[in-house]
């Protein structure tokens, strides 16, 4: 079973439409749709925006469906000159850029208790996403993806996250999926298509490009599922 988590309906609709023998079940307020995609068992959920919704969804998915891999797919702002609108970011690792206990001596991003800043994504899944991106001719960069409960639209903050964590893209759910997957020993990967520059222009860019970016992310996800 492969789990697919999207934050928003626009990121999930095309996947939902191609599921064969779809059956739905609601757990913890999240609707899960189970079915076949390219003959493989998948379960899809729209978790909602932000890290807490993503965490609820990931935990419920793992406990209910025991997926062997979770893919978080959708859109992101770019933090890298190598990624422009429509390009693809695939995770090497995830970080929560808004986790900050530095006033009591910790490095920024540290998750106390498990003592981690970065959650490593499954490398073979990331390789597969890169291959899938190549088959559709998409420019794909692998690197750290940073998540936080903020829509990034500030050049200075963007530069800080990129420098502090070496991150290439920002979004609002991936690191929560990663955190929950990690504590449950479940492999995960994050696939995001760039919808905006994460600067002051993002407010204009995002509504213009979100549908195109969601479609690109879906196209690569579909190729990846076909290939596994």
Q: Minimal distance in Å, beta carbon 205 to ligand ADE? A: 9
Which residue's CB is nearer to ligand ADE, number 43 or number 146?
Answer: 146
Instruction: Choose, from 59, 87, 171, 196, the residue flagged as catalytic.
Output: 196
Q: Give the 3-state secondary structure of residue 120.
A: strand
- What residue has token string 């899944």? 125
- What is the 3-state composition of the chain as percent helix, strand, coil, each rounded to the nearest 5? 40, 30, 30
Instruction: Choose, from 11, 59, 130, 173, the residue flagged as catalytic.
Output: 11
Is residue 217 within 8 A of residue 73, CB to CB? The reply is yes
Which residue's CB is nearer to ligand ADE, number 77 or number 143?
Answer: 77
Q: Minimal distance in Å, beta carbon 171 to ligand ADE? A: 4
Q: Give yes or no: 173 in active site.
A: no
Applying CB under 6 A, the residues found at the interface with ligand ADE are 75-77, 151-153, 170-172, 195-196, 198, 202, 206
Q: Minimal distance in Å, beta carbon 76 to ligand ADE? A: 5
Q: Give yes or no: 21 in active site.
A: no
Cβ atoms within 10 Å of 208's Cβ, excluding its own: 11
Which residue's CB is nearer to ligand ADE, number 158 or number 223?
Answer: 158
In this structure, the strands spanning 167-171 and 88-96 are unpaired
Q: Minimal distance in Å, beta carbon 1 to ligand ADE? A: 27
- What residue has token string 């850029």? 97
Which residue's CB is nearer to ligand ADE, number 120 or number 149?
Answer: 149
Q: Give the 3-state secondary structure of residue 64.
A: helix
DSSP 14-55: HHHHT-EEEEEEEETTEEEEEEEETTEEEEEEE--SSHHHHH
Which residue's CB is nearer to ligand ADE, number 8 or number 134?
Answer: 8
Cβ atoms within 10 Å of 121's Cβ, excluding its own: 27
Tell me the C-alpha distance between 46 and 1, whole Å. Answer: 17
Q: Minimal distance in Å, beta carbon 42 to ligand ADE? A: 23
Annotated catalytic residues are 11, 196
């Amino acid at each position: 079973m492969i789990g697919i988590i999207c934050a928003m309906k626009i990121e999930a609709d095309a996947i939902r439409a191609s599921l064969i023998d779809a059956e739905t079940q609601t757990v913890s307020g999240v609707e899960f749709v189970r079915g076949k995609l390219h003959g493989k068992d998948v379960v899809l959920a729209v978790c909602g925006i932000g890290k807490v919704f993503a965490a609820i969804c990931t935990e419920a998915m793992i406990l209910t469906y025991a997926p062997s891999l979770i893919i978080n797919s959708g859109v992101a702002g770019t933090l890298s000159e190598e990624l422009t609108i429509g390009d693809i970011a695939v995770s090497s690792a995830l970080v929560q850029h808004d986790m900050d206990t530095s006033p009591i001596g910790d490095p920024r991003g540290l998750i106390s208790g498990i003592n981690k800043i970065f959650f490593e994504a499954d490398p073979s899944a990331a390789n597969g996403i890169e291959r899938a991106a190549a088959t559709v001719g998409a420019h794909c960069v692998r690197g750290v993806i940073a998540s936080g409960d903020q829509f990034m639209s500030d050049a200075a903050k963007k530069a800080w996250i990129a420098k502090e964590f070496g991150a290439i893209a920002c979004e609002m759910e991936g690191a929560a999926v990663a955190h929950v997957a990690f504590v449950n020993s479940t492999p995960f990967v994050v696939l995001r298509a760039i919808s905006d520059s994460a600067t002051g222009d993002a407010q204009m860019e995002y509504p213009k490009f979100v549908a195109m970016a969601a479609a690109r992310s879906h196209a690569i996800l579909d190729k990846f599922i076909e290939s596994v």
